[in-house]
Structure 1
Amino acid sequence: MTHPLASHNDLSLDQRHALYTAAANLSAEFSGTFSPETIERFLRTSYDQFAGRATVSGFLPLLAERFARQRLRALARVEGKHDTGTPTVLFLCVHNAGRSQMALGYFQHLAEDRAIAWSGGSEPGERINPAAVAAMAEVGIDITGEYPKPWTTEIAQAADVIITMGCGDACPIFPGKRYEDWELTDPAGKTVEAVREIRDEIESRVRTLLEQLGVPVRGQR
């Protein structure tokens, strides 16, 4: 296997080793579904999405692997190579740092493994809004493991429902998708106290969405 980032001369030895390990992990997971070349291309382009953001530099290989895995799973669904029929929702906002991350957190918490959710931003920020993290922690949902990331074509195409939150014309439009625009206050720069109201409205909207999709929420059968 060639190194997935052989042309990146600025990588440390540890980063190169971590990315080689990531490529091996993804190749094992998607063996028989995608070629090594496709897997390495997705890993390389995923790495490049985060490379300019110093705040995540130490975690670049991990972020690249996680994002590449999500994109490959989406592509497999689009190409009919792995489509279980599980409802899939994409939450989009501008920076993928507040509203869409809280919606993702609630969706995953309430739906568990009965539905799939992703999130993305038209202009991803550097980190998740600390006030959003704190507000979600108050209701027992930990979103610290998430990170701002862009949406990609295969992720948007794989979604059954696309929920937009203030990204306007920058949000993707694909025929045949169900779209909803949630008019929510942007939590950027707001206190935890102010974010609580936004959080609670998001919970209500996510619960309604799950009901419409026929997905039982946590604690229901």
Structure 2
Amino acid sequence: MKPKVAFICVHNSCRSQMAEALGKQLASDAFDSYSAGTETKPRINQDAVRIIKSLYNIDMELSQTSKLIDDIPKDIDIVITMGCNVECPYLPSKHREDWGLDDPSGKADDEFIRTAKIIEEKVMDLRKRVLEEGLGK
């Protein structure tokens, strides 16, 4: 059975949503991807939606919504916090790490692109660690 990975940040509208989308597209053979936050927004960040669609041809609004931690499975194996600079909620897991990403919200497209590329790199690294080292199992 594949480990479940939860990407967590405060509003679940930008970085964690991008990570969920890229996890689903690039690493679904290694783990199941979820995202959530301690608060939600009515819509996913529209700049993030546009950038992810243009870079990866993924329409996040078709398959994802802003979710609370209570809305995702309870038996998460790996928790990835995005770097909220606030106390992220405790979620029991076998492995936890913080990716320390700055929120690109309200910034220029190049910041969103840079953030997306960093998330892509980190998702691929996580995929490798899950497959080769059994992380989260």
TM-score range, shorter chain: 0.7 to 0.9
SS of alignment partner, residue 169 of structure 1: coil
The corresponding residue for 2:90 is 172
Residue 209 of structure 1 pairs with residue 129 of structure 2: no
CA contact (8 A) 1:103 1:202 kept: yes
CA distance, structure 2, for counterparts of residue 125 and residue 177 of structure 1: 28
1:111 to 12, 27, 42: 27
1:148 to 34, 52, 66: 66
1:61-210 aligned within 5 A: 85-112=1-28, 114-139=30-55, 140-145=57-62, 146-152=64-70, 155=73, 157-167=74-84, 168-174=86-92, 177-210=94-127
C-alpha deviation, 1:107, in angstroms? 0.5
Runs ≥4 residues deviating over 3 A: none
Post-superposition CA distance 1:155-207 (Å, at most 9, x none): 2x411100011343242242x52001010010221232221001100000000
The structure whose residues are more often helix, as a share, is 1
The corresponding residue for 2:135 is none
CA RMSD in angstroms, aligned pairs only: 1.9
Which structure has the larger Rg? 1
CA contact (8 A) 1:134 1:192 kept: no
The corresponding residue for 1:218 is none
TM-score (norm 1): 0.54
SS of alignment partner, residue 49 of structure 2: helix
CA contact (8 A) 2:12 2:66 kept: yes
CA contact (8 A) 1:94 1:166 kept: no
Post-superposition CA distance 1:43-83 (Å, at most 9, x none): xxxxxxxxxxxxxxxxxxxxxxxxxxxxxxxxxxxxxxxxx
**Equivalent AA in structure 1 for residue 69 of structure 2:** W
CA contact (8 A) 1:94 1:123 kept: yes
Percent sequence identity over aligned pairs: 35
